[in-house]
Chain A
């Protein structure tokens, strides 16, 4: 009832007719063109430069970043990060890895320092490690999505969040992320993460660990692809 009334009132106020095909065509054309608006130059650089820009921007937002050459070096890097003095993590710290990471069979089971724990959304998790769809250099954002192997809560509930990012998945501008996704069948949740959870709600001074992770660590794996073409 209200739906038709509301739509009719909109048409009345706009002084347009529901059967006006020119309007319908204008909207259909706008939707199917998927035309980009102005793209910032800062996101249209060589790939190695974009990787550096991404890292610098997310570091500016209080995340930490490390780079490794290949997947085989990831477990050692996680051990190194978690045993670093600044975190003062207890030995045998509980680490949860999500399905995306599990599939990569990185060899966490062999680690003497880390205690692999199954994911439970109802308990307090120390550390959760997840993968991501990619990252955007222009804003320093990781892009994570929900699926059968990646829960959004796995990116949000642990005190420390570690994200594995392949260098080749870093792009310049937001619009390039849309090209990596099935537009007609998007995941339920696509979240751009640009730093640890924070709040400026008390006296406009940032405090970290509001509702989500208190610390965010990004491990960038591999080299820039040689054939990258900025949008």
Chain B
């Protein structure tokens, strides 16, 4: 997985200075948080379902080998084939081979984060296989040559006018001189263009939201209906999915469906939720005759039995993104990875290597909102803290940062010294105060005041006030 996460600070600055993005993200965050809150209030059992979902995932991960074997057995029994891919390269080779064996000319894709992780569309294009994303958001960013800025809403960073510009550039015929101006017209144009591709495609590629071991079914959740067309029209359907997506039974699937869209978009359910089980039956009127499932490891097995096993519970709902003040400020592209927000800050260092993850584990205020809304209760702040420790242990952070932290640790673990230094600092800061605020500090402290002011500190430290008596504190 290629990442540019080391550029976090410069990418974040680009996001912070982009007025369009700031307006979009402000509305988006407020909107998603209130939508989720409202929909969760209407289901009193929601928190109980979260506990159960966490337990189902823990049980499945502890027996992952057996559930994957059962899943494979059921896929085969329903006329499909299962492929096992340890690495990104192996997954790409398997998928490329299936496409070449079918002499595929037109490939259509339904949105999938695993295929983003593999950068699959680019790989297939390089092999001369035309590959088109059909989820509207994915289609827009494919035309623009961008990466998704959100794991569920990939084009959330763009506004209507930017989409209109993109469509005009790619769809307009000679002589056209009018850009589309309404969302409805943009959606209609994409529908018309993509419909002809759906009908002509010989291979459809999807991800999977869940795999059901009991029946060998894959579950696809969309609002647009593109996954249904991707799996029903072409002759061959390739499912590309992570090994951690498996759950035991259809009953368990019901629990996860109750949680997924409520957490993801604040809706009770999506317009379409499909359970696809194997290949077209002989009497069926439609459906892919060739059904392949590619089970991708790509670093997931290494998380088993480690501190990161809880991260394998993740159902890619994006609730943690919507509730992260850092994500909502800098936007998804700042993370330099297909996985962004708190879940990306945990996953990217593991998948790409902590040495390539730059500031991602620091891209958090540790406010804990991500963990508090996670439908499978992943301790995201703890996992980010683990990566921070790793970066310091492996000396991946700047020496100056390390020294500063060592100095801080030296002072803070010596109460007397701490008292003297903090009292001194309070007095020093008073000298920089203008009208109750500190707006400019010298030297490296200037990095802070460059973009924010803060109130002047109290004239006494907490400890000295505490000594005078609790009532005063």
The residues of A with any CB-CB pair to B shorter than 8 Å are 2-3, 5-7, 9-11, 13-16, 18, 23-24, 26-27, 30-31, 34-38, 40-42, 57, 61, 99, 121-122, 124, 139-141, 146-157, 173-175, 178, 183, 186-205, 207, 209-213
Contacts and interface: CB of A to CB of B under 8 A. Distances in A.
Contacts of B62: 14
A139 B273 CA distance: 11
Interface string B305-326: 1100000000000000000000
A121 B63 CA distance: 43
27 contacts: A2-B84, A2-B86, A6-B243, A13-B306, A14-B62, A24-B66, A35-B251, A37-B251, A37-B252, A40-B45, A147-B284, A152-B228, A152-B231, A152-B286, A153-B286, A174-B257, A178-B251, A188-B78, A188-B278, A189-B231, A192-B273, A193-B271, A197-B271, A200-B153, A201-B137, A210-B187, A212-B224
A151 B194 contact: no
Given A189-B287, A195-B271, A212 B52 contact: no
B interface residue count range (under 10 / 10 to 19 / 20 to 34 / 35 or more):
35 or more
Contact of A40 (B31, B252, B258, B279): B258
Given A37-B255, A193-B272, A211 B229 contact: yes
B250 interface: yes
Contacts of A36: 251, 254
Contacts of A139: 257, 268-269
Contacts of B274: 189-192
Contact of B223 (A152, A174, A210): A210
B199 to A, nearest CB: 6
A55 B422 CA distance: 65
Contact of B283 (A5, A26, A147, A153): A147
B285 to A, nearest CB: 4
Nearest to B286: A151
Contacts of B195: 124, 211
Contacts of B229: 153, 156-157, 211-212
Nearest to A124: B195
A156 B277 contact: no
Contacts of B281: 146-147, 187-188
Contacts, number: 267
B132 to A, nearest CB: 12
Contacts of A16: 65
Given A15-B305, A188-B287, A202-B163, A140 B271 contact: no
Contacts of B56: 37
Contacts of A205: 183
B233 interface: yes
Interface of B: 24, 27-28, 31-32, 43-45, 48-49, 52, 56, 59, 62-70, 78, 84-86, 90, 134-137, 140, 153-156, 158-160, 163, 183-184, 186-188, 190-191, 194-195, 198-199, 213-215, 217, 223-226, 228-229, 231-233, 243, 248-255, 257-258, 265, 268-281, 283-287, 295, 297, 301-302, 304-306
A7 B215 CA distance: 20
A13 B70 contact: no
Contacts of A7: 65, 68-69
Nearest to A63: B271
The 5 lowest CB-CB distance pairs between A and B, nearest first, are A212-B225, A148-B283, A201-B137, A151-B285, A210-B224
Contacts of A154: 285
Contacts of A175: 250-251, 254
Nearest to A176: B254
A210 B251 contact: no
Contacts of A190: 217, 274-275, 277
A129 to B, nearest CB: 15
A56 B85 CA distance: 45
Contacts of A149: 285
A149 to B, nearest CB: 8
